[in-house]
Structure 1
Amino acid sequence: MSSGSGTNRTFEFGRTHVVRPRGNHQATIVWLHGLGDKGSSWSQLLESLPLPNIKWICPTAPTRPVAMFGGYPCTAWFDVGDLSGDGPDDLEGLDASAAHVANLLSGEPADIKLGIGGFSMGAATALYSATCHVLGKYSNGNLYPVNLSAVVGLSGWLPCSRTLRNRMERSIQAVRRAASLPILQCHGLGDDVVAYTHGERSAQALNSVGFRDLTFRTYNGLGHYTVPEETDEVCHWLTARLGLQGSRS
């Protein structure tokens, strides 16, 4: 059981799956699944990638009532009315999930580079975590405890984008951190679950507040799923941004 400290509710997170590095451990990335999914389904794909120096941690979100399903419970990192970022933000759920992820990373050795990635709602949580990292705190004011070296978001969107500019403008430190945090966003033009425009708008919002090292990749015909072309991009990008040695195997 884990929760973001300072939240009123306690969230019961599901099982965490770990893919151990096959080579020299240089980086640890927490990878977050989409709505209604679980950590194990991504751990199998990540294990097959030619990135032997990365340790992957694949947690499972709490099962909770979700507004877009009329309150029907399923695994979700936060409550959501629609997958766009246009509705009200569940700050309590976002903070609890971001804190759970940071807690998973905080036990890693000091010389290991840390990252967060995800798909769909997992991507949204990863991008939200990126904003917590640069601001140095969660929405509830608690300190964000880990230093991120890379963030990846596939088929996702940015929660809390409407309030981000105001929060960033109050902190020169946040702008400095944002400029040096590498982010890769990928989105399919054929996505009928999280519309391409939501991903594109999120990338523009991040770029406009100072996230300078942001790569936004577009895939023609890609729906709400991943393809080898996209995972190859992720592998090349992580290898370059994290300075991984001998990662093609």
Structure 2
Amino acid sequence: MSFGSTSGGSGSRTSQRTFEFGRTHVVRPKGKHQATIVWLHGLGDKGSSWSQLLETLPLPNIKWICPTAPTRPVAIFGGFPCTAWFDVGDISEDSPDDLEGLDASAVHVANLLSTEPPDIKLGVGGFSMGAATALYSATCHVFRQYGNGSPYPVHLSAIVGLSGWLPCSRTLKNRLEGSNDAARRAASLPVLLCHGLGDEVVAYNHGENSAQTLSLAGFRNLTFRSYNGLGHYTTPEETDEVCNWLTAWLGLDGSRS
């Protein structure tokens, strides 16, 4: 992972802190616009890294929005500042969750999607910490609110997470059991999770446990793919999987075989 800095961007205010997000990169659809996906980079990266890759994918009907996270001190690096969607001290199910940071990033993602045309399907995807933020956005969609109780304004049709993990996993199942509407939304939301067995940054078991937690909580349209020998990066085999899955679940024109 690289440790890039952000340029000036729009702020997302919470009750205590203001987060300054960096530059947003947009990849316009080359064909008929049918879906818009916000794609979130990993810790220390920036939006431009992924926009360059996404532009090469054979998905002409998708508009990609690639924001850049705020630069902030990150506990896992001893307080060293880098781009991060939220603070993290340890990548595990037992580490405390930075709800304020997660909510600020989920608000930023929803704001980016909220101005899309009403007939366009919306999704969130990401890599590593970006995948964690995408999954947090999925739970906001399911409960129709952020962690702080504010209403979540957009309807999501697809979630993709590569080499990531699920924040706030300890309370998810109990929260879903308390709401029939939320359980129904969870059951119908398509989710694709991919993880390398050789991941040296976010251990494979974190990805596998996250998939199991989501499945047991009631996310019935969840697909989990593992890759032998894959470390903390992506490969053509994995991006092909993402392309085929998005084409099928979003009903995009020009289906691939």
Range into which the TM-score falls when normalised by the shorter chain: over 0.9
Aligned-pair identity in percent equals 81
Aligned-residue offset at 1:83? 2.4
Equivalent residue runs for 1:1-249 within 5 Å: 1-3=10-12, 6-246=14-254
Q: Secondary structure at the match of 1:42?
A: helix
Deviation at 1:165, TM superposition (A): 1.6
Q: Distance in 1 between matches of 2:254 and 2:24?
A: 27
Q: CA–CA distance in 2 between the matches of 1:41 and 1:138? A: 28
State the 1:247 CA deviation: 5.2
Residues 58-96 of structure 1: CA distance to partner in whole angstroms, max 9, x if unpaired? 000000000001101000000001223431000000000
Q: Indicate the RMSD between aligned Cα atoms, in angstroms.
A: 1.2
Q: Deviations over 1:1-33 (max 9, x none)?
A: 2315x4321100000000000000000000000
Moved more, 84-93 or 21-30: 84-93
Q: Matched residues in 2 for 1:60 and 1:245: separation?
A: 29
Structure 1 residue 168: deviation in Å?
1.2
In 2, the alpha carbon distance for the partners of 1:134 and 1:92 equals 19
Measured in 1, the distance between the counterparts of 2:246 and 2:87 equals 30
User: In structure 2, what is the Cα distance between the partners aligned to 1:189 and 1:205?
Assistant: 18
Q: Secondary structure at the match of 2:72?
A: strand
Larger RCO: Structure 1 or Structure 2 (Cα < 8 Å, ≥ 6 residues apart)?
1
Name the aligned partner's letter for residue 12 of structure 2.
S
Whether the aligned pair in 2 keeps the contact of 1:51 and 1:247 (CA below 8 Å) is no
Find the residue that maps to 2:125 and give its secondary structure: strand
Bigger shift: 78-87 or 123-132?
Answer: 78-87
Residue identity matched to 1:3: S
SS in 2 for 1:238: helix
Contact 2:248–2:255 (8 Å) recurs in 1:
no
TM-score by length of 1: 0.98
Whole-angstrom CA distance in 1 between matches of 2:87 and 2:65: 22
Task: Tell me how far 1:117 sits from its aligned partner.
Answer: 0.2
**In structure 2, distance between residues paired with 1:113 and 1:59:** 19
Asked if 2 retains the 8 angstrom alpha-carbon contact of 1:84 and 1:195, the reply is no
Residue aligning to 2:4: none
Q: Is the 8 A contact 2:122 2:156 kept in 1?
A: yes
Q: How many residues align?
A: 248
- The residue identity in structure 2 corresponding to 1:205 is T
The 4+ residue runs of structure 1 with deviation greater than 6 A are none
Distance in 1 (CA, whole Å) between partners of 2:11 and 2:114 is 14
Structure 1 portions without partners, runs of 5+? none
Q: Which amino acid aligns with 1:103?
A: N
Partner SS for 1:3: strand
Alpha-carbon separation, structure 1, partners of 2:213 and 2:15: 27
TM-score by structure 2 length?
Answer: 0.95
